[in-house]
Amino acid sequence: MDFKDERFIDYNTSMEQKNIEKIVLACQKGDIAQFGTLFDLFHNKIYQFIYYRTHHKETAEDLTSQTFTKALVRIESYNPEKAGFTTWLYQIARNSIIDYYRALKPTSDIQDAWDLPSTSQPAREAELRIQLEKVNSYLQSLPSQQRDIILMRVWDGLSHKEIADILGISEASSKMTFSRVLAKLTKEVPFAALYLLTLKQIL
């Protein structure tokens, strides 16, 4: 698979990342109004990241709001030497999702919350919903870490470096897992592999 297509180009080029770090630094120095720029840059991506893992519009909106609130409160603790801002923000979003499912079902495997039922159907056209359910059925059969790698790479558009930082694994492990899972998916459920790669255009 060639992921040099513009749909999968990493959101932050080196220049964009430098600009983001400058904005973050301004926030850390007290210019909190600059946080609005970060919100505008990342809101849709964080919302989609959460929505794909909750399948519920209102919940995703609430957790997205919580994520940015936590980021604003903790902005002074952000250290660019430990992780890029994108990685740091996604880690907050992921932890917010884990906390949400922990509150709903304390005895569940928090790292594998995908199978928990949604309280409503996604607001989409019927055919799109049917196709998404087919893809979901396959993803549910995967171990949680493999599923996270597929979601983060294909649907969230994150680089393998960012995925590795968020999940605490090596970049090589992320790349290998992604290749193996997608190859297996292409062989066993061809339409689902194609759908995964085009879904980002439809949503």
Whether residue 133 is found in the same domain as residue 116: no
Q: Tens digits of per-residue pLDDT, 69-112? A: 999 999 999 998 888 898 999 999 999 998 888 887 655 554 55
With 0-12 / 13-18 / 19 or more C-beta atoms within 10 angstroms meaning exposed / middle / buried, residue 66 is middle
Which of 88, 122, 156 is at the close of a domain? 122
Nearest-10 Cα torsion for 171, 177, 183, 186: -110
Give CB contacts under 8 A, 24+ apart, made by 134-137. Answer: 134/189, 134/191, 134/192, 134/195, 135/192, 135/195, 135/196, 135/199
Distance CA 194, CA 38 (A): 32
Lowest-pLDDT range of 49-53, 134-138, 147-151, 191-195:
191-195
Give CB contacts under 8 A, 24+ apart, made by 3-10. Answer: 3/153, 7/157, 7/200, 7/201, 8/153, 8/154, 8/157, 9/157, 10/157, 10/158, 10/159, 10/162
3-state helix, strand, coil in the chain (%, to 5): 75, 0, 25
| Residues 177/145, Cβ–Cβ less than 8 Å | yes
Both tokens of 2, joined, read: 């060639």
Q: Tens digits of per-residue pLDDT, 28-37? A: 998 888 899 9
Whether residue 158 is found in the same domain as residue 61: no
Distance CA 77, CA 56 (A): 31
Which of 93, 122, 151 is at the close of a domain? 122
**Has this prediction a pTM greater than 0.85?**
no
Per-residue model confidence (pLDDT) at position 7: 42
Whether residue 104 is found in the same domain as residue 133: no
Which of 85, 107, 122 is at the close of a domain? 122
| Residues 91/78, Cβ–Cβ less than 8 Å | no
Whether residue 74 is found in the same domain as residue 171: no
Decide if pLDDT at 14 tops 80. Answer: no
CA-based torsion, 129, 135, 141, 142: positive or negative:
negative
User: Is 4 contained in some domain?
Assistant: no
Per-residue model confidence (pLDDT) at position 170: 92
Mean pLDDT over 44-67 rounds to: 89
Both tokens of 109, joined, read: 């495997």
Number of domains in the chain: 2
Residue span of the structural domain in which 115 resides: 11-122
